[in-house]
Amino acid sequence: MHEAVKAAEAAIFKNTPEGDADALSISDTILQHDPVNAWALSTAGLAFYRMQRFGLAASLLNSASQLAPDQAAIWNNFAISMREWHPKDAVMLLRKAVEVDPGHLEARKNLAGCLGRIGKRDEAIELNQALRKEMPDDPDIPYNLALDLLHTDRWEEAFEAYVYSEGNEQRTVRNYHKDKKTPRWEVTDPKFKKPVIYGEQGVGDEVLAAAAYVGLDRDGWEMDFILDCDPRLESLFKRSFPNMTVYGTRDKDALAWPADEEPDSALIAMAAFGELVGPSEPVKPWLVPDPHLVEMFKKKLAETGDGPYIGLSWSGGAKDWDRAERTIPIEELGPILATPEATIVNLEYQDGPIPNGVVDFPWATRKGVDLDLTAALIAALDVVVSVPQTVCDIAGAVGTPLRALVGPNPPWRFAEAAGDAWVWQDVKTYRKKEGSTWMPVVVKCARDLREGL
Protein backbone atom coordinates (compact mmCIF):
# COMPACT_ATOMS: atom_id res chain seq x y z
CA MET A 1 0.00 0.00 0.00
CA HIS A 2 2.82 2.39 0.85
CA GLU A 3 4.37 1.99 -2.61
CA ALA A 4 0.98 2.60 -4.25
CA VAL A 5 0.57 5.81 -2.27
CA LYS A 6 4.01 7.01 -3.35
CA ALA A 7 3.23 6.19 -6.99
CA ALA A 8 -0.09 8.05 -6.89
CA GLU A 9 1.55 11.07 -5.28
CA ALA A 10 4.19 11.13 -8.01
CA ALA A 11 1.47 10.89 -10.67
CA ILE A 12 -0.78 13.61 -9.25
CA PHE A 13 2.11 16.05 -8.87
CA LYS A 14 2.93 15.76 -12.57
CA ASN A 15 -0.18 17.88 -13.16
CA THR A 16 -0.66 16.38 -16.61
CA PRO A 17 -3.63 14.47 -18.11
CA GLU A 18 -1.54 11.31 -18.11
CA GLY A 19 -0.51 11.82 -14.49
CA ASP A 20 -4.10 12.43 -13.42
CA ALA A 21 -5.25 9.26 -15.17
CA ASP A 22 -2.48 7.27 -13.46
CA ALA A 23 -3.35 8.75 -10.05
CA LEU A 24 -7.00 7.87 -10.59
CA SER A 25 -6.13 4.29 -11.54
CA ILE A 26 -3.88 3.82 -8.49
CA SER A 27 -6.49 5.36 -6.20
CA ASP A 28 -9.10 2.99 -7.60
CA THR A 29 -6.85 0.02 -6.84
CA ILE A 30 -6.41 1.19 -3.24
CA LEU A 31 -10.17 1.76 -2.83
CA GLN A 32 -10.92 -1.76 -4.06
CA HIS A 33 -9.12 -3.06 -0.98
CA ASP A 34 -10.00 -0.18 1.37
CA PRO A 35 -13.20 1.64 0.28
CA VAL A 36 -12.93 4.21 3.09
CA ASN A 37 -9.32 5.22 2.51
CA ALA A 38 -9.46 9.03 2.88
CA TRP A 39 -6.18 9.59 1.07
CA ALA A 40 -7.24 7.58 -2.00
CA LEU A 41 -10.66 9.29 -2.09
CA SER A 42 -8.97 12.67 -1.89
CA THR A 43 -6.45 11.88 -4.63
CA ALA A 44 -9.16 10.53 -6.93
CA GLY A 45 -11.23 13.64 -6.25
CA LEU A 46 -8.32 15.91 -7.14
CA ALA A 47 -7.71 13.95 -10.34
CA PHE A 48 -11.38 14.30 -11.32
CA TYR A 49 -11.21 18.04 -10.57
CA ARG A 50 -8.32 18.44 -12.97
CA MET A 51 -10.31 16.49 -15.55
CA GLN A 52 -13.10 19.06 -15.00
CA ARG A 53 -15.43 16.39 -13.61
CA PHE A 54 -16.46 18.68 -10.80
CA GLY A 55 -19.46 16.71 -9.53
CA LEU A 56 -17.46 13.51 -9.12
CA ALA A 57 -14.60 15.47 -7.56
CA ALA A 58 -16.86 17.14 -5.00
CA SER A 59 -18.56 13.86 -4.07
CA LEU A 60 -15.27 12.04 -3.43
CA LEU A 61 -13.69 14.95 -1.59
CA ASN A 62 -16.79 15.33 0.56
CA SER A 63 -16.41 11.69 1.65
CA ALA A 64 -12.69 12.19 2.27
CA SER A 65 -13.31 15.28 4.42
CA GLN A 66 -15.69 13.32 6.66
CA LEU A 67 -13.14 10.54 7.11
CA ALA A 68 -10.21 12.90 7.73
CA PRO A 69 -11.62 16.19 9.07
CA ASP A 70 -8.22 17.24 10.39
CA GLN A 71 -6.68 17.51 6.90
CA ALA A 72 -6.73 21.09 5.64
CA ALA A 73 -5.60 20.00 2.15
CA ILE A 74 -8.72 17.88 1.72
CA TRP A 75 -11.00 20.75 2.76
CA ASN A 76 -9.12 23.02 0.35
CA ASN A 77 -9.50 20.63 -2.58
CA PHE A 78 -13.16 20.03 -1.71
CA ALA A 79 -13.66 23.82 -1.86
CA ILE A 80 -12.05 24.33 -5.27
CA SER A 81 -14.22 21.56 -6.71
CA MET A 82 -17.27 23.51 -5.49
CA ARG A 83 -16.34 27.11 -6.27
CA GLU A 84 -17.68 27.26 -9.84
CA TRP A 85 -21.27 26.28 -9.09
CA HIS A 86 -21.38 26.83 -5.30
CA PRO A 87 -18.99 29.68 -4.42
CA LYS A 88 -20.61 30.43 -1.04
CA ASP A 89 -20.20 26.80 0.00
CA ALA A 90 -16.60 26.97 -1.22
CA VAL A 91 -15.96 29.92 1.10
CA MET A 92 -17.38 27.94 4.03
CA LEU A 93 -15.15 24.96 3.22
CA LEU A 94 -12.07 27.15 2.87
CA ARG A 95 -12.77 28.76 6.23
CA LYS A 96 -12.84 25.22 7.62
CA ALA A 97 -9.45 24.48 6.02
CA VAL A 98 -7.94 27.62 7.58
CA GLU A 99 -9.51 26.76 10.93
CA VAL A 100 -7.89 23.31 10.80
CA ASP A 101 -4.53 24.75 9.72
CA PRO A 102 -4.16 28.57 9.97
CA GLY A 103 -0.83 28.31 8.17
CA HIS A 104 -2.19 26.56 5.06
CA LEU A 105 -1.25 29.21 2.48
CA GLU A 106 -3.01 27.59 -0.49
CA ALA A 107 -6.30 27.54 1.41
CA ARG A 108 -5.87 31.17 2.42
CA LYS A 109 -5.10 32.14 -1.19
CA ASN A 110 -8.18 30.31 -2.44
CA LEU A 111 -10.29 31.86 0.32
CA ALA A 112 -9.22 35.34 -0.76
CA GLY A 113 -10.15 34.52 -4.37
CA CYS A 114 -13.54 33.07 -3.45
CA LEU A 115 -14.42 35.95 -1.13
CA GLY A 116 -14.17 38.26 -4.12
CA ARG A 117 -16.41 35.99 -6.15
CA ILE A 118 -19.23 36.30 -3.64
CA GLY A 119 -18.85 40.08 -3.33
CA LYS A 120 -16.93 40.26 -0.05
CA ARG A 121 -14.35 42.56 -1.59
CA ASP A 122 -13.12 44.34 1.55
CA GLU A 123 -12.36 41.06 3.33
CA ALA A 124 -10.70 39.71 0.19
CA ILE A 125 -8.50 42.81 -0.14
CA GLU A 126 -7.43 42.63 3.50
CA LEU A 127 -6.53 38.95 3.22
CA ASN A 128 -4.66 39.41 -0.07
CA GLN A 129 -2.68 42.32 1.35
CA ALA A 130 -1.62 40.14 4.27
CA LEU A 131 -0.72 37.26 1.96
CA ARG A 132 1.31 39.55 -0.27
CA LYS A 133 3.60 40.35 2.66
CA GLU A 134 3.98 36.67 3.49
CA MET A 135 4.49 35.50 -0.12
CA PRO A 136 5.92 38.47 -2.06
CA ASP A 137 6.98 36.30 -4.99
CA ASP A 138 3.61 34.61 -5.59
CA PRO A 139 2.05 36.22 -8.71
CA ASP A 140 -1.49 35.00 -8.02
CA ILE A 141 -1.83 37.19 -4.93
CA PRO A 142 -1.26 40.64 -6.54
CA TYR A 143 -3.47 39.51 -9.44
CA ASN A 144 -6.40 38.67 -7.16
CA LEU A 145 -5.75 41.82 -5.15
CA ALA A 146 -5.83 43.92 -8.32
CA LEU A 147 -9.18 42.48 -9.41
CA ASP A 148 -10.76 43.17 -6.02
CA LEU A 149 -9.37 46.72 -5.94
CA LEU A 150 -10.80 47.37 -9.41
CA HIS A 151 -14.23 46.42 -8.11
CA THR A 152 -13.91 49.14 -5.47
CA ASP A 153 -12.68 51.70 -8.03
CA ARG A 154 -9.22 51.98 -6.44
CA TRP A 155 -7.59 52.27 -9.86
CA GLU A 156 -3.98 53.24 -9.03
CA GLU A 157 -3.62 50.66 -6.26
CA ALA A 158 -5.12 48.00 -8.51
CA PHE A 159 -2.70 48.46 -11.36
CA GLU A 160 0.28 48.85 -9.06
CA ALA A 161 -0.52 45.31 -7.93
CA TYR A 162 -1.34 44.11 -11.45
CA VAL A 163 2.14 44.94 -12.77
CA TYR A 164 3.58 42.36 -10.36
CA SER A 165 1.08 39.64 -11.16
CA GLU A 166 2.93 37.78 -13.91
CA GLY A 167 4.68 34.48 -13.52
CA ASN A 168 2.17 31.66 -13.09
CA GLU A 169 1.54 28.93 -15.66
CA GLN A 170 -1.23 30.86 -17.40
CA ARG A 171 0.53 34.24 -17.42
CA THR A 172 4.21 33.66 -18.03
CA VAL A 173 6.70 36.51 -18.01
CA ARG A 174 7.81 37.38 -21.54
CA ASN A 175 11.51 37.99 -22.07
CA TYR A 176 12.73 39.64 -25.28
CA HIS A 177 16.45 39.38 -24.61
CA LYS A 178 18.40 36.19 -25.09
CA ASP A 179 20.90 36.52 -22.25
CA LYS A 180 19.32 38.95 -19.79
CA LYS A 181 15.94 39.92 -18.39
CA THR A 182 14.06 42.54 -20.42
CA PRO A 183 13.63 45.69 -18.30
CA ARG A 184 10.10 46.78 -17.46
CA TRP A 185 9.03 49.79 -19.49
CA GLU A 186 8.36 52.74 -17.22
CA VAL A 187 6.01 55.06 -19.04
CA THR A 188 7.68 58.22 -17.73
CA ASP A 189 11.28 57.07 -18.17
CA PRO A 190 12.89 58.86 -21.17
CA LYS A 191 15.72 56.34 -21.57
CA PHE A 192 13.40 53.76 -23.16
CA LYS A 193 12.93 54.16 -26.90
CA LYS A 194 11.66 50.79 -28.15
CA PRO A 195 9.22 49.11 -25.74
CA VAL A 196 7.27 45.92 -26.37
CA ILE A 197 3.71 45.85 -25.07
CA TYR A 198 2.43 42.31 -24.86
CA GLY A 199 -0.78 40.49 -24.02
CA GLU A 200 -0.89 37.93 -21.21
CA GLN A 201 -4.62 37.51 -20.65
CA GLY A 202 -7.50 36.45 -22.87
CA VAL A 203 -8.14 38.15 -26.20
CA GLY A 204 -10.91 40.24 -24.62
CA ASP A 205 -8.39 41.75 -22.23
CA GLU A 206 -6.02 42.43 -25.13
CA VAL A 207 -8.80 44.20 -27.02
CA LEU A 208 -9.68 46.31 -23.98
CA ALA A 209 -6.04 47.14 -23.23
CA ALA A 210 -5.63 48.35 -26.81
CA ALA A 211 -7.58 51.47 -25.80
CA ALA A 212 -4.22 52.65 -24.45
CA TYR A 213 -2.48 52.23 -27.81
CA VAL A 214 -4.36 55.02 -29.55
CA GLY A 215 -2.40 57.70 -27.72
CA LEU A 216 0.88 55.83 -28.09
CA ASP A 217 0.27 55.42 -31.82
CA ARG A 218 -0.81 58.97 -32.63
CA ASP A 219 0.09 61.47 -29.90
CA GLY A 220 3.69 62.25 -30.73
CA TRP A 221 5.52 59.73 -28.53
CA GLU A 222 9.12 59.64 -29.75
CA MET A 223 9.35 55.86 -29.47
CA ASP A 224 9.11 52.85 -31.70
CA PHE A 225 6.40 50.72 -30.10
CA ILE A 226 6.09 47.00 -30.73
CA LEU A 227 2.93 45.01 -30.00
CA ASP A 228 3.19 41.28 -29.29
CA CYS A 229 -0.41 40.08 -29.49
CA ASP A 230 -2.52 36.98 -29.93
CA PRO A 231 -2.24 35.83 -33.57
CA ARG A 232 -6.01 36.23 -33.96
CA LEU A 233 -5.58 39.97 -33.39
CA GLU A 234 -2.59 40.60 -35.64
CA SER A 235 -4.35 41.87 -38.76
CA LEU A 236 -6.86 43.91 -36.74
CA PHE A 237 -4.11 45.57 -34.70
CA LYS A 238 -1.93 46.27 -37.75
CA ARG A 239 -4.77 48.20 -39.36
CA SER A 240 -5.76 49.98 -36.15
CA PHE A 241 -2.26 51.06 -35.09
CA PRO A 242 -0.35 51.72 -38.31
CA ASN A 243 2.58 53.46 -36.61
CA MET A 244 3.35 50.45 -34.41
CA THR A 245 5.10 47.23 -35.32
CA VAL A 246 2.77 44.30 -34.65
CA TYR A 247 3.66 40.63 -34.21
CA GLY A 248 1.02 37.97 -33.53
CA THR A 249 3.43 35.80 -31.55
CA ARG A 250 2.26 35.86 -27.95
CA ASP A 251 1.60 32.10 -27.93
CA LYS A 252 5.00 31.15 -29.34
CA ASP A 253 7.95 30.15 -27.17
CA ALA A 254 10.85 30.87 -29.54
CA LEU A 255 10.74 34.27 -31.22
CA ALA A 256 12.96 35.29 -34.10
CA TRP A 257 12.03 38.95 -34.39
CA PRO A 258 13.54 40.39 -31.16
CA ALA A 259 17.05 39.88 -32.57
CA ASP A 260 16.13 42.15 -35.48
CA GLU A 261 14.03 44.68 -33.58
CA GLU A 262 16.25 44.92 -30.46
CA PRO A 263 13.55 46.13 -28.03
CA ASP A 264 14.85 47.85 -24.91
CA SER A 265 11.95 47.22 -22.49
CA ALA A 266 8.56 45.52 -22.13
CA LEU A 267 5.25 45.96 -20.32
CA ILE A 268 2.11 43.83 -20.05
CA ALA A 269 -0.81 45.24 -21.99
CA MET A 270 -3.22 45.68 -19.08
CA ALA A 271 -0.54 47.56 -17.12
CA ALA A 272 -0.23 50.00 -20.02
CA PHE A 273 -4.02 50.34 -19.94
CA GLY A 274 -3.90 51.12 -16.23
CA GLU A 275 -1.18 53.72 -16.72
CA LEU A 276 -2.65 55.51 -19.72
CA VAL A 277 -6.46 55.15 -19.55
CA GLY A 278 -8.29 56.67 -16.60
CA PRO A 279 -11.19 54.99 -14.79
CA SER A 280 -14.65 55.67 -16.16
CA GLU A 281 -13.33 57.78 -19.03
CA PRO A 282 -15.14 56.91 -22.28
CA VAL A 283 -12.71 56.38 -25.15
CA LYS A 284 -13.59 56.84 -28.81
CA PRO A 285 -13.67 53.52 -30.70
CA TRP A 286 -10.06 52.45 -31.04
CA LEU A 287 -10.12 49.44 -33.36
CA VAL A 288 -10.59 49.79 -37.13
CA PRO A 289 -12.39 46.82 -38.65
CA ASP A 290 -11.79 45.96 -42.30
CA PRO A 291 -14.28 48.19 -44.20
CA HIS A 292 -14.65 45.62 -46.97
CA LEU A 293 -15.54 42.91 -44.45
CA VAL A 294 -17.99 45.23 -42.73
CA GLU A 295 -19.70 45.93 -46.03
CA MET A 296 -19.78 42.19 -46.81
CA PHE A 297 -21.49 41.45 -43.50
CA LYS A 298 -24.02 44.25 -44.02
CA LYS A 299 -24.99 42.68 -47.33
CA LYS A 300 -25.21 39.20 -45.80
CA LEU A 301 -27.35 40.51 -42.94
CA ALA A 302 -29.69 42.23 -45.40
CA GLU A 303 -30.08 38.91 -47.20
CA THR A 304 -31.06 37.11 -43.98
CA GLY A 305 -33.77 39.46 -42.79
CA ASP A 306 -34.81 42.98 -41.89
CA GLY A 307 -33.01 45.16 -39.38
CA PRO A 308 -32.36 46.16 -36.74
CA TYR A 309 -29.63 43.55 -36.33
CA ILE A 310 -28.99 42.40 -32.78
CA GLY A 311 -25.90 40.37 -31.90
CA LEU A 312 -26.52 37.95 -29.03
CA SER A 313 -24.22 35.86 -26.84
CA TRP A 314 -25.45 33.98 -23.79
CA SER A 315 -22.42 32.10 -22.42
CA GLY A 316 -18.90 33.03 -21.38
CA GLY A 317 -16.12 32.21 -18.95
CA ALA A 318 -13.99 29.11 -18.61
CA LYS A 319 -15.54 25.81 -17.57
CA ASP A 320 -13.71 25.87 -14.24
CA TRP A 321 -14.01 29.61 -13.63
CA ASP A 322 -17.11 31.78 -14.02
CA ARG A 323 -18.97 29.69 -16.63
CA ALA A 324 -21.92 29.23 -14.26
CA GLU A 325 -22.03 32.94 -13.45
CA ARG A 326 -21.94 33.96 -17.12
CA THR A 327 -24.39 31.57 -18.75
CA ILE A 328 -28.06 32.25 -19.46
CA PRO A 329 -30.22 29.21 -20.24
CA ILE A 330 -31.52 29.41 -23.79
CA GLU A 331 -35.11 29.04 -22.60
CA GLU A 332 -34.80 32.36 -20.72
CA LEU A 333 -33.79 34.32 -23.83
CA GLY A 334 -37.31 34.37 -25.29
CA PRO A 335 -38.14 38.07 -24.73
CA ILE A 336 -35.00 39.18 -26.59
CA LEU A 337 -35.49 36.64 -29.39
CA ALA A 338 -39.01 38.01 -29.84
CA THR A 339 -37.88 41.59 -30.52
CA PRO A 340 -40.28 42.75 -33.29
CA GLU A 341 -38.94 43.15 -36.83
CA ALA A 342 -35.38 42.42 -35.70
CA THR A 343 -32.84 39.86 -36.89
CA ILE A 344 -30.92 38.12 -34.10
CA VAL A 345 -27.32 37.14 -34.91
CA ASN A 346 -25.42 34.48 -32.99
CA LEU A 347 -22.15 35.72 -31.42
CA GLU A 348 -21.43 32.59 -29.39
CA TYR A 349 -17.82 31.43 -29.60
CA GLN A 350 -18.69 27.88 -28.55
CA ASP A 351 -20.52 25.23 -30.52
CA GLY A 352 -23.85 24.24 -29.05
CA PRO A 353 -27.62 24.59 -29.41
CA ILE A 354 -28.81 27.75 -31.16
CA PRO A 355 -32.35 29.11 -30.72
CA ASN A 356 -34.65 28.82 -33.71
CA GLY A 357 -34.50 31.72 -36.12
CA VAL A 358 -31.09 33.00 -34.98
CA VAL A 359 -28.69 33.77 -37.85
CA ASP A 360 -25.31 32.09 -37.53
CA PHE A 361 -21.93 32.83 -39.16
CA PRO A 362 -19.77 30.23 -37.38
CA TRP A 363 -16.75 30.95 -39.57
CA ALA A 364 -16.70 34.49 -38.11
CA THR A 365 -17.44 33.87 -34.45
CA ARG A 366 -16.29 30.48 -33.19
CA LYS A 367 -13.28 29.97 -30.98
CA GLY A 368 -10.02 30.23 -32.90
CA VAL A 369 -11.19 32.35 -35.83
CA ASP A 370 -9.35 35.46 -36.96
CA LEU A 371 -10.91 38.24 -34.89
CA ASP A 372 -10.79 40.56 -37.88
CA LEU A 373 -13.88 38.67 -39.03
CA THR A 374 -15.59 38.90 -35.63
CA ALA A 375 -14.87 42.62 -35.33
CA ALA A 376 -16.27 43.31 -38.81
CA LEU A 377 -19.47 41.39 -38.06
CA ILE A 378 -19.95 43.24 -34.76
CA ALA A 379 -19.31 46.57 -36.48
CA ALA A 380 -22.09 45.74 -38.96
CA LEU A 381 -24.65 45.20 -36.17
CA ASP A 382 -26.94 47.79 -34.58
CA VAL A 383 -26.43 46.57 -31.02
CA VAL A 384 -24.77 43.72 -29.11
CA VAL A 385 -26.49 41.99 -26.19
CA SER A 386 -24.12 39.73 -24.29
CA VAL A 387 -23.01 38.24 -21.02
CA PRO A 388 -19.42 39.20 -20.10
CA GLN A 389 -17.11 37.79 -22.74
CA THR A 390 -14.85 38.90 -25.60
CA VAL A 391 -17.65 40.21 -27.83
CA CYS A 392 -18.35 42.90 -25.20
CA ASP A 393 -14.78 44.18 -25.49
CA ILE A 394 -14.92 44.07 -29.29
CA ALA A 395 -18.26 45.92 -29.38
CA GLY A 396 -16.82 48.71 -27.25
CA ALA A 397 -13.64 48.84 -29.30
CA VAL A 398 -15.41 49.22 -32.67
CA GLY A 399 -18.21 51.46 -31.36
CA THR A 400 -21.24 49.17 -31.51
CA PRO A 401 -23.69 49.84 -28.64
CA LEU A 402 -23.47 47.20 -25.92
CA ARG A 403 -26.18 45.91 -23.60
CA ALA A 404 -24.42 43.74 -21.01
CA LEU A 405 -26.30 41.08 -19.01
CA VAL A 406 -24.24 40.45 -15.88
CA GLY A 407 -24.46 38.41 -12.69
CA PRO A 408 -24.41 39.86 -9.16
CA ASN A 409 -20.61 39.53 -8.95
CA PRO A 410 -19.43 40.07 -12.54
CA PRO A 411 -15.89 40.56 -13.93
CA TRP A 412 -14.27 43.86 -13.02
CA ARG A 413 -15.29 45.57 -16.29
CA PHE A 414 -18.84 45.59 -14.94
CA ALA A 415 -18.14 46.46 -11.29
CA GLU A 416 -20.97 48.27 -9.55
CA ALA A 417 -18.50 51.02 -8.62
CA ALA A 418 -18.18 51.87 -12.32
CA GLY A 419 -21.89 51.62 -13.14
CA ASP A 420 -22.28 52.27 -16.86
CA ALA A 421 -19.56 54.94 -16.91
CA TRP A 422 -16.97 52.74 -18.53
CA VAL A 423 -14.43 53.23 -21.33
CA TRP A 424 -17.00 52.11 -23.89
CA GLN A 425 -18.99 55.01 -25.25
CA ASP A 426 -22.41 53.35 -25.38
CA VAL A 427 -22.94 50.64 -22.77
CA LYS A 428 -25.81 49.79 -20.46
CA THR A 429 -25.55 47.12 -17.79
CA TYR A 430 -28.40 44.88 -16.65
CA ARG A 431 -27.48 43.28 -13.33
CA LYS A 432 -28.98 39.99 -12.16
CA LYS A 433 -29.93 39.94 -8.48
CA GLU A 434 -28.53 37.40 -6.06
CA GLY A 435 -30.69 34.28 -6.01
CA SER A 436 -32.86 35.40 -8.93
CA THR A 437 -33.24 33.86 -12.38
CA TRP A 438 -32.07 35.69 -15.48
CA MET A 439 -35.62 36.33 -16.66
CA PRO A 440 -36.17 39.78 -15.01
CA VAL A 441 -32.90 41.03 -16.50
CA VAL A 442 -33.73 39.64 -19.95
CA VAL A 443 -37.25 41.14 -19.87
CA LYS A 444 -35.91 44.60 -18.94
CA CYS A 445 -33.29 44.49 -21.66
CA ALA A 446 -35.86 43.29 -24.23
CA ARG A 447 -38.19 46.16 -23.34
CA ASP A 448 -35.40 48.70 -23.74
CA LEU A 449 -34.44 47.15 -27.09
CA ARG A 450 -38.01 47.56 -28.35
CA GLU A 451 -38.09 51.20 -27.27
CA GLY A 452 -34.56 52.05 -28.41
CA LEU A 453 -34.55 50.35 -31.80
What integer pLDDT is reported at residue 30 of this predicted model?
87
pTM, full prediction? 0.88
What integer pLDDT is reported at residue 170 of this predicted model?
65
For the segment 6-13, the average pLDDT, to the nearest whole number, is 63
Q: What pLDDT, in 10s, does the model give residues 79-110?
A: 999 988 888 999 999 999 999 999 999 999 99
Question: pLDDT category, 137, cuts 50, 70, 90?
Answer: confident
HEC profile for the chain? CHHHHHHHHHHHCCCCHHHHHHHHHHHHHHHHHCCCCHHHHHHHHHHHHHCCCHHHHHHHHHHHHHHCCCCHHHHHHHHHHHCCCCHHHHHHHHHHHHHHCCCCHHHHHHHHHHHHHCCCHHHHHHHHHHHHHHCCCCCHHHHHHHHHHHHCCCHHHHHHHHCCCCCCCCCCCCCCCCCCCCCECCCCCCCCCCEEEECCCCHHHHHHHHHHHHHHHHCCCCCCCEEECCHHHHHHHHHHCCCCEEECCCCCCCCCHHHHHCCCEEEEHHHHHHHHCCCCCCCCCCCCCCHHHHHHHHHHHHHHCCCCEEEEECCCCECCEECHHHCCCHHHCHHHHCCCCCEEEECCCCCCCCCCCCECCHHHHCCCCCHHHHHHHHHHCCEEEECCCHHHHHHHHHCCCEEEEECCCCCHHHCCCCCCCCCCCCEEEEECCCCCCCHHHHHHHHHHHHHHC
